[in-house]
Amino acid sequence: MDRRSLLQLSLASTLMGIVPSLAVAGVAKRPERLKLGDTIGLVAPASVTYESLQLQIAVEALDAMGLKSKVGLHVMDRFGYLAGEDEDRASDINAAFADPEIDGVFALRGGWGASRLLPFLDFDLISKNPKIFLGYSDITSLLNAIYAKSGVVTFHGPNVMSRWNQFTYQGMREVLFDAESATYSNPEFIDDDLVARKHRTQTINAGKVTGHLIGGNLTLVSALVGTPYFPDARGAILFLEDVGEAIYRVDRMMTQLKLSGVLGQVSGIVFGHFTGVKPNPGLGNFALMDILKQHCEPLEVPCYFGAMIGHVEQQSTVPVGAIAEMDAGAGVLRLIGPAVR
């Protein structure tokens, strides 16, 4: 990007009240792929882990994947409902990126608290030591902030305490170990019926588009808007998921993305699962799809719902900052090249 373009971006960002992010579409830094025997730094950026058995199971899960573990100093700390003081939780992340013995950084769990760490993260350090950073749910804020401020591709996928079934594990391996240009399409599941009822996708606006991926949990994405940690949305494919939210709150958060200008900047939207989001009884209520259509149809960009992203048993690993193409009519998302080196 030349000096004139940077000045134009700075001016536009100032007018919008947004600090320009470091990451520019197409120039994100890809971390090194994982190999058998690599060491994973285990960190707890959000909620407290009450039982040491949960940590033991997480370590055993990594061992079953052929990976070693190095547990952050403050992983089992407790500060109210958080896994330790903000500075301490952030220091574990900074230390993991600085440690030459650690090859990747995985979040133990989500919950709440990751956004509180953003002022304490050393983004210059992370930029100089790009490593795989994996997690989802509340970890969304870290994934997008690291991409925005350091230019490093991060990965929205299972936390270590997630259930590692075959779909989830193989999907993670394709992206992080095998460096494949992954295709995200839903598994067919017909069961004892004439037509498939599970894992359906629904097209909101048909079409195909290419862009860099940003997003994750809708609650956390909307909460980042207006901060210095929100990634560049221009031309992006935005992916969103959530769990346990009332439909009016989904409406409120989508309205925030609209009023902030984010929805008007993206080239396409992929909705994952909105687990447990159902209309309240009564004839006057909206269904979730009503709300999504109200916000997305006027955009006239490709959008579809139902990708295997988010709080769902069979979970995909999606790289924030990687370039992808989507076919909303087919309900398919594809990476344009590997997300790791």
Distance CA 142, CA 118 (A): 7
**CB distance 320 to 143 below 8 Å:** yes
pLDDT, tens digit, 9 for 90 and up, residues 20-62: 455 544 479 999 999 999 999 999 999 999 999 999 999 999 9
Averaged pLDDT score across all residues of the chain? 92
Residue 21: C-alpha distances to residues 17, 18, 240, 335 (Å): 12, 9, 20, 22
- Residue carrying structure tokens 């320009």: 20
Mean pLDDT of 66-83: 97
Beta-bridge mates of residue 335 = 324
Has residue 222 got a pLDDT over 60?
Answer: yes
Q: SS3 of 244, please?
A: coil
- Residues near 122 by Cβ (< 8 Å), separated by ≥ 6? 94, 97
Q: Which member of 74, 156, 273, 311 is catalytic?
A: 311
- Residues near 74 by Cβ (< 8 Å), separated by ≥ 6? 44, 83, 84, 85, 88, 89, 91, 92
Residue (of 110, 117, 158) closest to 138 by Cα position: 110
The sign of the CA dihedral 118, 315, 211, 240 is negative
pLDDT, tens digit, 9 for 90 and up, residues 225-271: 999 999 999 999 999 999 999 999 999 999 999 999 999 999 999 99
Has residue 118 got a pLDDT over 70?
Answer: yes
β-pair type (237-243, 208-217): parallel
Q: Which member of 137, 150, 260, 316 is catalytic?
A: 137
Distance CA 210, CA 74 (A): 40
What's the pLDDT score for residue 193?
A: 80
**CB distance 114 to 138 below 8 Å:** yes
Has residue 2 got a pLDDT over 50?
Answer: no
Complete domains list, the chain, with CATH: 20-176 (3.40.50.10740), 183-335 (3.50.30.60)
Choose the weakest-confidence range: 11-20, 60-69, 293-302. Answer: 11-20
Asked if 137 is an active-site residue, the reply is: yes
Q: What percent of the chain has pLDDT over 70?
A: 91
What's the pLDDT score for residue 189?
A: 76
The sign of the CA dihedral 298, 300, 305, 307 is negative
Q: How many CB atoms lie within 10 A of CB 7?
A: 10
Query: E strands along 162-309, which residues?
Result: 183-184, 202-205, 208-217, 237-243, 268-275, 303-305
Mean pLDDT of 145-152: 98
Q: How confident is the model at residue 18 (pLDDT cuts 50, 70, 90)?
A: very low
Q: How confident is the model at residue 198 (pLDDT cuts 50, 70, 90)?
A: confident
Instruction: Please report how the helices 288-296 and 247-259 are oriented relative to each other, as an axis angle in degrees rounded to 10.
Output: 10
**CB distance 108 to 161 below 8 Å:** yes
Asked if 311 is an active-site residue, the reply is: yes
Q: SS3 of 273, please?
A: strand
Total residue count of the chain as it appears in this document: 341
- Residues near 51 by Cβ (< 8 Å), separated by ≥ 6? none
Distance CA 236, CA 204 (A): 17
Has residue 16 got a pLDDT over 60?
Answer: no
pLDDT, tens digit, 9 for 90 and up, residues 170-179: 999 999 999 9
Q: How many CB atoms lie within 10 A of CB 265?
A: 15
Indicate the residue type of 241.
Answer: E
DSSP annotation of 24: -
Asked if 241 is an active-site residue, the reply is: yes
Q: Which member of 212, 241, 267, 273 is catalytic?
A: 241
Mean pLDDT of 121-128: 98
